[in-house]
Chain A
Amino acid sequence: MTRLLMVVLCVLVVAAGYGVTRAAADTFYGYTAPGTWFTPGAGYGSVYDNGCSRWKENDFSKGWNALGLITFIDSSGNWHNTMQGYGWIHRAPSPLDWTKKLHCKNNSGASYQGGCFGYRTSATCA
């Protein structure tokens, strides 16, 4: 019986080791499909985050001649940490612990294809 308990304990220790590692990973979330057409003025947004899992990064993948913006929108609709640029643009805000959603937009006068995505911290709530 003691031996069985020890084996079970060993398995739990190994599982816990892997579990801690897995929990540390961030979660990828695309909030547009890859290759989405962005007409002038077109914008897309993610869902809002929450205290269990925070958006930690906003990315807009597009071509070298495509100007666009990414931003973080708080629960009152206000924009924060906006970045505009050509090519692949990425922004990671600090601090993270505030309610926000991701937004990307074609703020140029030309249409292009691209994709918007972000990363969320792993869920800390059960």
Chain B
Amino acid sequence: MRIIPLALLLLAAAVASVAALHGRERDAKITPATVPVSNVSASGSGLAMQPGSQTSLGAFRLSRGRSLHLASAETVDGKSCLLEATDGEGSGSVCADGGLFAHRKVAFAIDSQGNPGALSELRVVGVVAPGIRAAEVLKSDGSDSNLELARDGAFAYESPAAELARGVYPSGFKLYGASGKLVQVVDFPTRQ
């Protein structure tokens, strides 16, 4: 007769374990557990990514020895996302309906540290559309810098500290096609 309570206890423990495991699986769906690039964990709790949709866009070496990882992915509700993750800073994403390049030929995010008007760090990360062969980042003082595009068109531009100190910020892109023809100018309509 003493075996019956013991069996009940074991059964309850098994049910509890299954329940806990099921909960973990459900949580995994709202966090990017399926992403193949381990450092890019940027889908966010509010964005459920299509399993297997993530494509690595490469890794970039930033100042102070940090690494930036970029990737693209699709959400289950049809958004296309640019994902980023930086050592020691966390992750982020920019998502749009209809495809990364449905509205402009570059998908990008502007990341910064510091208060408005006193930024200690600023970078522009992104990826250009297929067919874009060269790109420049435009700056608020009228100057520009060439962007070094990776194999899949990804890029990361860091503002030099001297420019930040002078209040010079990236203000847009010029995008060029294979023949060197200007394809699109994208402005950042920002005001701090």
Contact = CB atoms under 8 A, between A and B. Distances in A.
Contacts of A82: 111-113
A111 to B, nearest CB: 12
Given A7-B8, A93-B89, A21 B23 contact: yes
Main secondary structure of the interface of A (DSSP, over half): mixed
Interface residues of A, number: 52
B12 to A, nearest CB: 4
A56 B42 CA distance: 12
Contacts of A2: 5
Contact of B93 (A13, A40, A84, A89): A89
A10 B10 CA distance: 8
A109 B188 CA distance: 10
B16 interface: yes
Size range of the chain B interface in the assembly: 35 or more
A87 B103 CA distance: 10
B20 interface: yes
Contacts of B113: 79-82
B90 A79 contact: no
B161 interface: no
A49 interface: no
A89 B109 contact: yes
A52 interface: no
Contacts of B6: 6
B95 A88 contact: yes
Nearest to B100: A87
Contacts of A88: 47, 79, 93-96
Interface in A76-101: 77-94
Contact of B46 (A6, A80, A81, A117): A117
A4 B158 CA distance: 68
Interface of A: 2-3, 6-7, 9-11, 13-14, 16-18, 20-22, 24-26, 28, 40-41, 56-57, 59, 61, 64-65, 67, 77-94, 107-110, 117, 119
